[in-house]
Amino acid sequence: MVPLLTGLRVLDLTSIIYGPLVGQVLGDLGAEVIKVEPPEGELARAIQPRGPQGDSAMFVCNNRNKRSIALDLKAEAGREVFTRLLRWAEVFVHNMRPAALDRLGFGFAAAAAINPEIIYCAAVGFGRGGRYAGRPAFDDVIQAAGGIAALPSYRGEDPAYVPGVVADKVAALTATYGVMAAIAARARGRTGPIEVEAAMFESVVAFVLNEHLAAAAFGGPPQAAGYHRMFAPDRRPYRTRDGWIAALPYTEQQWRRVLEFTARHDVLDAPWFADPGERSAHIAELYAVLAEEMAQRTTGEWLRVLQDLDIPHARVNRLEDLLTDPHLQDVDFFAPNGSGLARSARQPVVFPGLPVQPDRPAPALGADTEAVAEMLGYDAAAIAALRARGAFGPGG
């Protein structure tokens, strides 16, 4: 944890990955984050595999540096406590469907009436005003709708999902910079409520079309979209004699060094090679040559050669390789740092010269309910009355 946002008060009403990651980044930067969960806990706690305390790896990897209070927002007493939390908070982040939150009485207008200075971040599936607004959205759906799943089809393959939770994380980082912008505006004197909306669909479309808008950006037809280099059949990890490797000559000099090393003078002498535009147009041929040559040597040989030639390259790491990667060990990427886990991927942004404080592990369900209630001004008798009225759920 880096104490850059110390004192910032964040109310986190989120679940799975999209919303929780926003709160975790703010907590990693020193904010005080209170996570509100239903009495049964948010769904991600139960996803396998689960650790010795019963919570899933997915939950603990997205909820460190938070405190947990269990509230039943369907109960009037639970909503009373939540209203106090809204008054306490400077930032409120949720990823509920807006209509559901409106029914509970905590949509933007209602929240702004409770706290006129709130930064209100709605992490939604589809943006308001569009015909998809309010639809349920999960990662696979957004990968399909946002163009990710179709990308393999441009190489003649079937559509496919990236086997990772891409849309949630892209949208979470989008929402985070939206919140950060609002925090900066507040620090510069802006007053009144600030509403931030970050939609998964729009976030992923912006992510995908950054390079793939291509010629369509200049008024070409929709069919002109697509960055052709990405669709070359041999733009892929290359099979060596004993494994796989990634290599990416990019500039003319980089290609020239590789082609001279492999004695591919047929390519070096081609009339198009020295012209950047023509070389780009023939990129599929260059990648095919690279694939041929990579198969002639072992991965170890190529790692040494590419290093000597100063060509961007990497071994193709499996997930288990990342856990023992020497560079990641050098930079203490998996250092527990108080997280309570044997391994925890730390915040990748570092601030050299600033002090680092130990992370707090992801909280047990409702572990801080009583402490948070006391912070909000409830005494023991009031907490007992709230419990009797079902604020914290059955048996809370």
CATH code, 34: 3.40.50.10540
Residues 6+ apart with CB under 8 A from 271: 278
Structure token pair of residue 27: 């907590």
Same domain, yes or no, for 309 and 348? no
Cα separation, 44 vs 274, in Å, equals: 54
Same domain, yes or no, for 202 and 258? no
Question: Is there a domain that residue 214 lies in?
Answer: no
Query: What's the mean pLDDT in 154-173?
Result: 97
Q: What is the DSSP letter of 35?
A: E
Supply the mean pLDDT for the chain: 95
- pLDDT grade for 341, boundaries at 50, 70 and 90: confident
pLDDT attached to residue 54:
85
Structure token pair of residue 153: 């089809």
Give the domain range for residue 243.
Answer: 238-315
pLDDT attached to residue 92:
98
DSSP H stretches of helix in 188-230: 200-212
pLDDT attached to residue 342:
79
Q: What is the 3-state secondary structure (H, E, C) of 46-79?
A: HCCCECCCCCEHHHHCCCCCCEEEECCCCCHHHH
Phi, psi dihedral angles at 222 (to 5 degrees): -50, -35
Write the single-letter amino acid at 149. A
Same domain, yes or no, for 155 and 201? yes
Structure token pair of residue 393: 């759920």
Query: What's the mean pLDDT in 72-99?
Result: 97
Distance of CA 276 to CAs 247, 253, 363, Å? 19, 11, 55
Question: Is there a domain that residue 168 lies in?
Answer: yes
311: domain CATH number is 3.30.1540.10
Question: Is there a domain that residue 175 lies in?
Answer: yes
Question: Is there a domain that residue 227 lies in?
Answer: no
Question: Is there a domain that residue 49 lies in?
Answer: yes
19 in Cβ contact with 176 (< 8 Å): no
- pLDDT grade for 344, boundaries at 50, 70 and 90: confident
Of residues 338 and 239, more confidence is placed in: 239
Residues 6+ apart with CB under 8 A from 393: 38, 39, 40, 70, 71, 72, 75, 78
Same domain, yes or no, for 267 and 339? no
pLDDT attached to residue 94:
98
Same domain, yes or no, for 344 and 298? no
Question: Is there a domain that residue 396 lies in?
Answer: no
Summarize pLDDT for 4-42 with one digit per residue, the tens.
999 999 999 999 999 999 999 999 999 999 999 999 999
Summarize pLDDT for 223-256 with one digit per residue, the tens.
999 999 999 999 999 999 999 999 999 999 999 9
Q: Is the per-residue pLDDT at 293 higher than 90?
A: yes
Query: What's the mean pLDDT in 185-198?
Result: 97
Question: Is there a domain that residue 219 lies in?
Answer: no
Domain count, the chain: 2
Structure token pair of residue 173: 């980082």
Cα separation, 5 vs 60, in Å, equals: 21
